[in-house]
Amino acid sequence: MRSTSGWRAEGPAVALRRAALERRDLRPDDLAVRVDYCGVCHTDLHSVRTHDEAAGRPLVPGHEFTGVVTATGPEVARFAVGDPVAVGNIVDSCGECAMCRAGQENFCHAFPTLTYGGTDRHDGSTTLGGYSREYVVRDRFVHRLPAGLDPAAAAPLLCAGITVWEPLHTLGVGPGTRVAVAGLGGLGHLAVKIAAAMGADTWVISRSPEKADDARRLGAQGLVVATDPARTAAARDRFDVVIDTISAPHDLGPYLRLVAMDGTLSQVGHLGPVTVETLDLLIGRKKLSSAGSGGIPATTAMLDFCAEHGITADIELLPSARVNEALDRLGRGDVRYRFVLDMSDLDGPA
């Protein structure tokens, strides 16, 4: 086993603590990656809050990271020691089902192996995430970090970025498409940047009117205040695509009413049961959809697009020892627009 260290949850009410961690010895198609930067996704916060220590599965969050290859297994041909790389929220899949064959490993019928809290397909161990100095990962699920992207600000592309890229891309967003992004957080601000770069007429729907200047700076035409009935009524039936990134459970009705005829609401934020009033779909033949993560080809396409358009996240970079502060502030909505942890402090004493 290889020794490293990282930030481990010890129960939902308790802060993450620094802990010694073990990584597997390299399999023939594995890489060892020195994790330099790891984004703090709201899913990490959901995971920490609901973590059940008694269930016996360790939790080290983190599923959007960049770093450098430090070792390669004998079958690895695509990467060499020193290559800058990026890893997202899935690290393996069956490779044989129709979804895997179609390059949608994120929808693998045998369920993809998640970067943390997943079950390794070979030894059955629980995967430990990127809030750590080293990660060992199958080469197929490692992405080359395009030149020109800042490695710290690019880390959030690997979860937040790909999660909004997939619906924007597959819904055919392009010049002239009217797009609204609900919730201006980690996912939302990247959705605005990507949609605007695709040429869409892009808007933000937010409960936070003070984000209006940011919305425009990120590339949106403006911001509709979700809690203002006059503004939302004026925006009725206005958007071909609404990407809903809101992290809390909420009524979809007000957001469906903003979707244009035959348009789509893609709900990628809160994942759980929703109640839908059929009339909100019926009137205007509207579609309700969702998406999560992305396959390997889509992730490559997203990274290439972001490199071409100079898109990375707006980040606040913190030493990894301040991870609990980052999670706490994320829970209070106090982030503009993604925390990224600098893992280099894990080289020092605990």
Ligand X SMILES: NC(=O)c1ccc[n+]([C@@H]2O[C@H](COP(=O)([O-])OP(=O)(O)OC[C@H]3O[C@@H](n4cnc5c(N)ncnc54)[C@H](OP(=O)(O)O)[C@@H]3O)[C@@H](O)[C@H]2O)c1
Which positions touch ligand X (CB under 6 A)? 41-43, 46, 159-160, 163, 183-188, 206-208, 211, 245-248, 250, 268-271, 292-293, 330, 333, 335
Neighbours of 255 (CB within 10 A): 24
Query: CA–CA separation, 137 vs 34, rounded Å?
Result: 11
Binding partner of residue 161 among Zn ion, ligand X, none, CB cut-off 5 to 8 Å per kind? none
Q: Closer to Zn ion at the Cβ: 142 or 259?
A: 142
Provide the 3-class DSSP secondary structure of residue 265: strand
CA 316 from chain centre, in angstroms, equals 16
Q: Closer to Zn ion at the Cβ: 131 or 203?
A: 131
Q: Closer to ligand X at the Cβ: 186 or 263?
A: 186
* β-pair partners for 30: 138
On whether the CB atoms of residues 204 and 184 are closer than 8 A, the answer is yes
Q: Which of 9, 21, 100, 343 is in the footprint of Zn ion by CB under 5 A?
A: 100
Q: Least CB distance from residue 233 to Zn ion, whole Å? A: 33
Q: Closer to ligand X at the Cβ: 98 or 271?
A: 271
Q: Least CB distance from residue 80 to ligand X, whole Å? A: 31
**Site string (156-195) toward Zn ion, x via CB under 5 A:** ---x------------------------------------
- Which are the contacts of 43, defined by CB distance < 8 A and separation ≥ 6? 63, 89, 159
Binding partner of residue 100 among ligand X, Zn ion, none, CB cut-off 5 to 8 Å per kind? Zn ion
Q: Closer to ligand X at the Cβ: 24 or 231?
A: 231
Query: CA–CA separation, 138 vs 153, rounded Å?
Result: 24
Residue nearest to ligand X (CB): 185
Binding partner of residue 108 among ligand X, Zn ion, none, CB cut-off 5 to 8 Å per kind? Zn ion
Q: Closer to ligand X at the Cβ: 248 or 350?
A: 248
Query: CA–CA separation, 69 vs 300, rounded Å?
Result: 18
Query: CA–CA separation, 38 vs 156, rounded Å?
Result: 8
C-alpha to C-alpha distances, 287 to 42, 224, 281, 327, nearest whole angstrom = 26, 21, 7, 34
Residue 127 touching Zn ion (CB under 5 A)? no
Residue 70 backbone dihedrals phi, psi, to 5 degrees: -115, -15
* β-pair partners for 165: none
| Angle at CA of residue 18, ends 13 and 19, nearest 5° | 110
**Site string (300-319) toward Zn ion, x via CB under 5 A:** --------------------
# residues contacting Zn ion (CB under 5 A): 8
| Residues at the contact surface with Zn ion, assessed by CB under 5 A | 41, 43, 93-94, 97, 100, 108, 159
